[in-house]
Amino acid sequence: MAQLAEKEPAIVLISGAAGQIGYSLIPIFATGLVLGEDQPVILRLLEIEPAMKSLEGVAMEIEDGAYPLVRGFLITCKPEEAFKDVDYAVLVGGFPRKQGMLRKELMAKNSPIFKDMGEGLQKYAKKTAKVLVVANPANTNCLVCASMHPRSPRKTFAHSLVLT
């Protein structure tokens, strides 16, 4: 029986990849639960500079996991590397809400982060990239991100519903 040609790997960016949520998303993509059991992936894991040591530990776990769908991965704190030609971006990295923090204070902390994420998508990602914003307030962060990435239709952006 003839063997089918392997699909082109999907490039998946996860920001905040060393955090609890970002870290938990990696095996879900690596095992095919999100994109399908026949879809190879290349993971781009983005973190802030102070978290790079933790991200190195995540990289070792990916290597130890020997996921058959992972065709490669990159750990970085540089948006130009992380966003290059991505097909899917899961934006988890954001400032966490602290006890007693008002929503407007959280928005003030996260708006610049998601402005930068949108600019990274605009400059480096594929026009067809699909984007999921997870960091709270996800609806506002998603709007800020999408507004910085006008070359893609708004329907390529989505946000999670997480109550905090």
pLDDT in tens, 4-47: 678 999 999 999 999 998 999 999 999 999 999 999 999 999 99
pLDDT at 164: 39
Domain 10-159, second-level architecture: 3-Layer(aba) Sandwich (3.40)
pLDDT at 158: 65
Q: Residue 159 pLDDT more than 90?
A: no
| DSSP codes joined into one string, the chain | -PPPPPPPPEEEEEETTTSHHHHHHHHHHHTTTTT-TT--EEEEEE--GGGHHHHHHHHHHHHHHT-TTEEEEEEES-HHHHSTT-SEEEE---PPPPTT--HHHHHHHHHHHHHHHHHHHHHHS-TT-EEEE-SSSHHHHHHHHHHT-TTS-GGGEEE-----
CA quadruple 123, 128, 129, 134: dihedral sign: positive
Domain chopping of the chain, boundaries: 10-159
> pLDDT: is 139 or 118 the higher one?
118
pLDDT at 144: 76
Please report, as a single letter, which amino acid is at residue 119: E
> pLDDT: is 161 or 18 the higher one?
18
Give the whole-angstrom CA distance, residue 2 versus residue 157. 38
- pLDDT range class, residue 155, cuts 50, 70, 90: low
pLDDT at 4: 60
Q: Residue 154 pLDDT more than 60?
A: no
Q: Residue 3 pLDDT more than 80?
A: no
Question: Averaged over 64-88, what is the pLDDT?
Answer: 95
